[in-house]
C-alpha cells in the first residue's frame, strides 16, 4: 500500500473510532437518563408512606385512623381485584391467534373503570377520615391524598396483598 493509501486508511480509521466513541458516549448518557427515570418511578411519592404519617398521631387517633383506613381499603379491594382480572383477561385475549381488538379494548376499559371506582372509594374514605380529624392531625395526614405512593390505587398489587395488618392494640370498629 502506498503512503497516500495508508494516510487515507488512517484517516478513515480515526473517523470510525471517533464515531464509535461518540456513539458510546451518547449511549451511556442516554442509558444513565433512562436508569434515573426508572429509579424515580420506583420511588414512593412520600417518604415512609401511610405508616410513617400515622406514626405521628396520638395513639388513640392512630388506632382510629388505621381501623377506618383498613375498612376503606377492604371496601375498595373488590374494585381493584376486578381491575386486575379484566387486565389479565385483556392480555390473554391479545395473545390469542385470532385477536379481537374490540374485546381487548373493552376489557381494558373495564379494568380502567374498576380501578377508578376503587380510587374513588379510597379517596372518598380518606376525605371522610380527614374531615373527622382535628386541624393538626389533618395537616399531618393530608398526604394520604397524594396520588403517587405505596399502594395508592395500584391495580398491579398482588391479589393476596391487602391493607396493612393491624398492629397490637388496633381493634377494627
% of the chain beyond a pLDDT of 90:
40
Per-residue pLDDT of the chain (173 residues; tens, 9 = 90+): 678 888 888 888 888 888 888 888 888 888 888 888 777 766 555 456 778 888 888 888 889 999 999 999 999 999 999 999 999 999 999 999 999 999 999 999 999 999 999 999 999 999 999 999 999 888 888 888 886 543 444 434 444 444 444 444 443 33
Q: Domains of the chain: which residue ranges?
A: 1-42, 49-145
The candidate with the shortest Cα–Cα distance to 156, out of 91, 104, 101, is 91
The candidate with the shortest Cα–Cα distance to 49, out of 69, 63, 75, 68, is 69
Looking up cell 396520638, which residue turns up?
Answer: 58
Q: How far is CA 73 from CA 21, 67, 90, 96, 157, in A?
A: 53, 10, 25, 35, 13
Spatial neighbors of 77 by CB under 8 A, at least 6 apart, are 118, 162
Q: What is the DSSP string of 143-156?
A: GGG-SSSTTSS-TT
Amino acid at each position: 500500500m502506498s503512503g497516500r493509501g495508508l494516510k487515507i486508511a488512517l484517516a478513515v480509521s480515526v473517523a470510525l473510532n471517533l464515531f464509535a466513541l461518540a456513539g458510546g458516549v451518547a449511549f451511556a448518557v442516554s442509558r444513565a437518563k433512562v436508569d434515573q427515570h426508572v429509579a424515580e418511578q420506583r420511588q414512593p411519592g412520600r417518604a415512609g408512606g401511610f405508616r410513617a404519617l400515622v406514626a405521628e398521631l396520638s395513639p388513640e387517633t392512630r388506632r382510629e385512623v388505621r381501623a377506618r383506613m383498613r375498612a376503606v381499603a377492604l371496601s375498595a379491594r373488590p374494585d381493584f381485584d376486578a381491575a386486575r382480572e379484566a387486565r389479565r383477561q385483556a392480555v390473554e385475549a391479545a395473545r390469542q391467534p385470532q385477536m379481537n381488538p374490540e374485546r381487548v379494548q373493552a376489557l381494558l376499559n373495564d379494568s380502567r373503570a374498576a380501578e377508578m371506582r376503587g380510587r374513588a372509594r379510597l379517596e372518598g374514605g380518606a376525605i371522610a377520615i380527614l374531615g373527622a380529624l382535628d386541624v393538626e392531625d389533618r395537616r399531618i395526614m393530608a398526604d394520604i391524598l397524594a396520588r403517587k405512593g405505596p399502594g395508592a390505587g395500584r391495580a398491579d398489587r398482588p391479589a393476596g396483598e391487602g391493607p396493612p395488618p393491624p398492629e397490637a392494640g388496633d381493634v377494627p370498629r
